[in-house]
Structure formats: structure tokens, C-alpha cells
């Protein structure tokens, strides 16, 4: 994200709205002293700012003025994201590391609660929903019951993979077990898709081979109540996993699963009741729609998980953070040649080429590269960092094969 200043119209408005500020033409003039020193509490610990990034930071007063002048949420949103980026860039590496350690400790507990709560709930709901489906003979409720069975199986798979990933033999698997979770998510997604294809086919067969002359099916109120209770439990789990979904790939899958179950169970109850009170074919039609929805939803999840294994690039803001931290890490670093950050499972691999003076002693170049590598690997989300030291930038990019 580029660091930009306000245009003349914005600055003229700020000049009138901000006491003590001045603006004449394209000369922005000095900012208020308190803004130059510390525009925000988030920048209080940022003492090293060689590129004057603070000048791009917009205070809350300025953001309010921009909003009144432009009346555009998108512009305000841009500057808020820019503020977040500046704070991230200027935050010392040690604070990033300490935040990551604190986050990891609390996150592990929260992830463990999410996994085990989902597992225990899904075991109970599996038997409850399958009983409701068998008693009612409703295809829509059968779809919800089958989904509950595989929810339980998926949770067991996640628990096993999490345990396996933490206890991988480092000699046999030097990259660790983080990719196991991604592979497990893909396998489970394929399994869910296959089962729901069978449900779709059987529901279609039942719909087009109707033997009964009755216009509606029998109503089983107890079964509908049981599935509605399952919906309530899933809603609670959905809310708990919502705040953790972007901090753990395991919780992300659980959250998606609970989200899917909300509409699956809710829609299943409606279509089953509709088949009992309105017309019979709403029940098999509901089962077909649920199965198709699950197939599409898990297809999207499988695609996103494949992207992580295939090496999708890290977000642009993260790459900017790596570049800034590298170029300001040591005065001995003259330039940054190449930076790559990409997924290898849920976390990132970082490749960094730094340029130093050709006369730099080998021991110093090695120590600076090693310390930089350690600092970047301590950042949250980084699994491995490779730092390459060079003395010029005229060569072709590293790690590119000639075709």
C-alpha cells in the first residue's frame, strides 16, 4: 500500500478545520508538534523512522475532517488501512515477536477449546440428528444427519492431525507437520463432496420415483425440534469460532463447517416441514439443494487449501513489512534485491536477498544475515526464512531457471 498525502482540496479543508495548521498551494507546511512526535498512542514506541513514515499517518481528527469533506467511506477506509500499515512497519521487531508469543499462548488454549467443544458437540448431535432422520424418514433431515456424522469424523481427524503435527520426527520430516492440517482439510472436503453426491442422486431418484399418492408426508414434530436444537448448538459454536477463524487454519475449517451447518439444519427443518404441510416433493428437493450447497461450499474450501499447498503469495502488506524491516535492520545493508513470501501450508516461507558492500568481511555479512533471518522467523505466521547476501543487483533474479 502506497503512503500518500492528502490532495490540495483535503488540505485546504484541514487548514480551516485544524487550529494551528497552515497550507499554501502544494507546500504542506509543518504539522503540529504533537503529531510529528507521536500522532497516535500506537506509535509511541516507534523511535526509528528513517523514511518519515509518520508523515503519512492520519490522526483521528484528520480522518474525521476527510470524512466530512469527501463524505466517502472508501477514502476513510483507505487511510485507516494505511495507518494500520504504518503502525505495523514502525513497530519494533521485538514487539512483533513478543505479540506473537503472547498470541500463540492464548491462541493455543482458545483453539483447543474450539476443537474439543466442536468434537463433543458433534458426537452428541450426530446421534441426535441421525435418530431424528431415521424416525421421520425425511430426506432433508437425513441430509443434515449425514452431515452431522461427517462433522464428528472431521473433528476426530483434526484432533489426530493436530497431535501428529506437534509430534513429527524432525529427522524424517524436517519441515514439520503444519502441512498435515492442510492435507487433512483437502481429504475431508473430497470425502464430504463424495457423500453429498450420493445424497443428491438418491434424493433425485426418490423424487422422480414417487409411489405414494399422498400430497404430503407425515409430520414428526419431535424430529424437527431435535434438529432445531442442533441448530442452536451450532450457532453458539459458530459465534465462538468467528473471532478465531483468521488466526488458525483448524478453527477456520471448523468455523466454515459450523456456518454451513446453520443453513443446512435451518433449511432442512423448513423443507421437511414443508413436505409435511405443503407438498411432499419439498422434502427430497430440500435434500438435493442441501447436498448441492455442501458440494459447492466444500469445493471452495478445497480450492483455497490447494492454493496454500501450491505456494500462494503472502498478502501485499506482509511483504511490505518484510521489505521495510529488512532495509532498516542494519546500516550495512545497502539495498533489498528480491523478496518473496509465499504459503507452504498455513504459514509463510520467506526468501530475502540483501545487498551489502563487496568489501564487507564474510563474518559480518554472515552474522547480519543470520540475525535478520532469526528476527523474521520470529514474526507471526513465518515458518521459515532464507536470507541470501549479495554484493550487486545486475544479475538475473535468484532462483529463476532459464527456459
Which pLDDT tens digit goes with each residue over 124-177?
888 887 888 787 777 777 777 877 787 777 777 777 876 777 777 777 877 777
Distance between CA 344 and CA 178 in Å, rounded?
Answer: 9
- Pairing type for strands 333-343 and 348-356 reads antiparallel
* DSSP code of residue 402: -
What are the residues whose beta carbons fall under 8 Å from the beta carbon of 209, sequence distance 6 or more?
Answer: none
Asked if 124 and 219 sit in the same domain, the reply is yes
84 is a domain residue: yes
Asked if 259 and 115 sit in the same domain, the reply is yes
Identify which has the larger pLDDT, 131 or 37. 131
Give the CATH number for residue 154: 1.20.1510.10
1 is a domain residue: no
Identify which has the larger pLDDT, 197 or 401. 197
Residue spans of alpha helices (H) in 311-393:
316-327, 362-377
CA R_g for the chain: 28
395 is a domain residue: no
Distance between CA 236 and CA 242 in Å, rounded?
Answer: 10
Q: In what order do the strands lie in the sheet with 333-343?
A: 333-343, 348-356, 382-390
Residue 100: predicted pLDDT? 61
Residues written for the chain:
403
Distance between CA 78 and CA 67 in Å, rounded?
Answer: 11
The cell numbers describing 314, all together, are 503472502
Of the three residues 310, 332, 366, the one that is the final residue of a domain is 310
Distance between CA 241 and CA 245 in Å, rounded?
Answer: 6
Distance between CA 49 and CA 66 in Å, rounded?
Answer: 25
Q: What percent of the chain has pLDDT over 70?
A: 78
Asked if 137 and 277 sit in the same domain, the reply is yes
127 is a domain residue: yes
Asked if 65 and 181 sit in the same domain, the reply is no
218-268 pLDDT, tens digit per residue, is 666 777 787 788 888 888 888 888 877 776 666 777 787 788 788 877 887
397 is a domain residue: no
Asked if 138 and 245 sit in the same domain, the reply is yes
Distance between CA 10 and CA 6 in Å, rounded?
Answer: 6
Asked if 296 and 326 sit in the same domain, the reply is no
Distance between CA 57 and CA 148 in Å, rounded?
Answer: 49
The SS3 of residue 389 is strand
Asked if 165 and 298 sit in the same domain, the reply is yes
The cell numbers describing 346, all together, are 498455513
Asked if 156 and 119 count as a contact pair (C-beta separation under 8 A), the reply is yes
396 is a domain residue: no
Residue 217: predicted pLDDT? 62
Asked if 201 and 331 sit in the same domain, the reply is no
Angstrom distances, CA of residue 272 to CA of 67, 211, 367: 50, 18, 68
Distance between CA 402 and CA 99 in Å, rounded?
Answer: 42
The pTM (predicted TM-score) of the whole model is: 0.66
Of the three residues 65, 91, 117, the one that is the final residue of a domain is 91
Asked if 285 and 360 sit in the same domain, the reply is no
- Please compute, for residue 289, the number of CA atoms within 13 A of its CA located in the half-sphere on the CB side: 18
Residue 389: predicted pLDDT? 92
Number of domains the chain contains: 3
273-322 pLDDT, tens digit per residue, is 777 777 777 878 888 888 888 888 888 888 988 998 888 999 988 999 89
Of the three residues 39, 65, 91, the one that is the final residue of a domain is 91
Asked if 235 and 341 sit in the same domain, the reply is no
Distance between CA 185 and CA 293 in Å, rounded?
Answer: 18
Find the domain containing 155 and state its range: 103-310
Asked if 267 and 354 sit in the same domain, the reply is no
Asked if 144 and 219 sit in the same domain, the reply is yes
370 is a domain residue: yes
Amino acid at each position: 500500500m502506497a503512503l500518500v498525502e492528502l490532495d490540495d482540496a483535503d488540505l485546504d479543508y484541514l487548514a480551516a478545520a485544524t487550529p494551528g495548521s497552515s497550507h499554501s498551494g502544494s507546500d504542506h507546511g509543518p504539522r503540529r508538534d504533537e503529531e510529528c512526535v507521536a500522532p497516535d498512542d500506537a506509535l509511541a514506541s516507534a523511535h526509528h523512522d528513517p523514511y518519515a513514515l509518520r508523515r503519512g499517518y492520519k490522526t483521528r481528527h484528520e480522518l474525521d475532517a476527510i470524512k466530512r469533506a469527501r463524505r466517502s467511506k472508501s477514502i476513510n477506509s483507505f487511510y485507516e488501512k494505511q495507518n494500520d500499515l504504518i503502525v505495523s512497519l514502525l513497530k519494533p521487531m521485538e514487539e512483533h515477536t513478543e505479540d506473537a508469543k503472547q498470541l500463540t499462548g492464548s491462541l493455543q488454549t482458545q483453539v483447543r477449546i474450539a476443537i474439543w467443544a466442536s468434537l463433543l458437540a458433534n458426537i452428541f448431535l450426530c446421534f441426535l440428528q441421525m435418530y431424528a432422520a431415521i424416525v421421520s424418514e425425511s430426506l432433508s433431515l437425513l441430509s443434515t444427519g449425514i452431515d452431522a456424522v461427517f462433522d464428528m469424523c472431521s473433528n476426530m481427524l483434526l484432533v489426530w492431525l493436530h497431535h501428529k503435527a506437534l509430534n513429527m520426527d524432525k529427522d524424517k520430516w524436517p519441515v514439520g507437520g503444519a502441512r498435515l492440517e492442510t492435507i487433512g482439510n483437502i481429504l475431508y472436503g473430497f470425502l464430504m463432496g463424495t457423500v453429498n453426491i450420493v445424497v443428491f442422486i438418491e434424493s433425485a431418484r426418490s423424487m422422480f420415483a414417487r409411489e405414494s399418492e399422498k400430497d404430503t408426508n407425515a409430520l414428526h414434530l419431535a424430529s424437527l425440534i431435535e434438529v432445531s436444537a442442533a441448530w442452536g448448538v451450532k450457532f453458539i459454536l459458530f459465534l465462538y469460532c468467528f473471532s478465531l477463524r483468521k488466526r488458525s487454519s483448524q478453527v477456520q475449517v471448523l468455523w466454515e463447517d459450523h456456518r454451513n451447518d446453520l443453513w443446512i439444519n435451518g433449511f432442512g427443518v423448513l423443507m421437511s416441514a414443508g413436505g409435511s404441510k405443503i407438498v411432499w416433493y419439498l422434502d427430497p428437493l430440500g435434500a438435493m439443494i442441501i447436498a448441492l450447497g455442501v458440494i459447492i461450499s466444500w469445493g471452495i474450501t478445497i480450492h483455497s487449501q490447494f492454493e496454500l499447498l501450491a505456494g500462494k503469495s503472502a498478502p501485499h502488506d506482509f511483504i511490505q513489512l518484510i521489505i521495510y524491516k529488512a532495509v532498516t535492520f542494519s546500516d550495512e545493508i545497502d539495498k533489498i534485491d528480491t523478496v518473496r513470501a509465499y504459503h507452504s501450508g498455513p504459514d509463510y516461507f520467506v526468501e530475502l536477498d540483501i545487498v551489502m558492500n563487496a568489501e564487507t568481511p564474510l563474518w559480518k555479512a554472515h552474522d547480519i544475515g543470520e540475525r535478520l533471518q532469526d528476527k523474521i522467523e520470529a514474526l507471526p505466521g513465518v515458518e521459515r526464512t532464507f536470507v541470501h547476501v549479495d554484493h550487486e543487483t545486475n544479475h538475473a533474479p535468484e532462483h529463476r531457471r532459464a527456459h
